[in-house]
Amino acid sequence: MAKLTRKAKALAGTVEPLTLYPVDEALALVKANATAKFDETIEVAVNLNVDPRHADQMVRGVVTLPKGTGKTVRVGVFARGPKADEAREAGADVVGAEDLLEIVQAGIIHGRLGKASFSPEDLKANLAAFMDALIKAKPSGAKGKYVEKIALSSTMGKGVKVDPATVGA
């Protein structure tokens, strides 16, 4: 096992790994643990009770976060041949085909909520919009409890498990 760094040891005692925190407390912990020299990104990972290998259990969607993500918008296009050239001429930042695909396995959805410099209210509003879009995208083939686990983390910080009941999931 790798040796823990000084910062990792300091962060290890701040979060109980088996505790489900209310959303407000989880956001406060994640922001407090974002101690890197840059403005860290606050991320969310949601484990869903779906099997993405089945066509009727695919989760797809797009959400515009009310407070933004703190990143500039980039345009990516899935295309080949003349359409790819056309997309580059139109100003697309990234153009490709299969090389751009990321396969979702085990029903885990990962997204970015904003930056550590955002206020807790802005991050909470973005999380609420993210979860609302995720719940609206629930596939018809999904049975039982849809949202199994939610975790928040910063780019270099420790993950914090969130109680799904406090998010409205």
Please give the residue that has the higher pLDDT: either 123 or 99.
123
Residue 104: per-residue pLDDT: 45
Question: Please, how many CA atoms are within 13 Å of residue 150, restricted to the half-sphere of its CB?
Answer: 24
Structure tokens at 151: 């975790």
Residue 41: per-residue pLDDT: 92
Residue 1: per-residue pLDDT: 62
Asked whether 22 and 100 are in contact (CB, 8 A), the reply is no
Residue 6: per-residue pLDDT: 83
Question: Which residue type does 129 have?
Answer: A
pLDDT at 56 > cutoff 90: no
- Output the pTM of the full model: 0.75
The architecture (CATH level 2) of 6-71+103-167 comes to 2-Layer Sandwich (3.30)
Domain ranges of the chain: 6-71+103-167
Rounded Cα distance, 81 and 70, in Å? 33
pLDDT at 52 > cutoff 50: yes
Please give the residue that has the higher pLDDT: either 159 or 98.
159
Asked whether 42 and 154 are in contact (CB, 8 A), the reply is yes
Rounded Cα distance, 27 and 123, in Å? 8
Q: What is the mean pLDDT of the chain?
A: 84
pLDDT at 73 > cutoff 70: no
Residue 84: per-residue pLDDT: 84
Rounded Cα distance, 66 and 18, in Å? 31
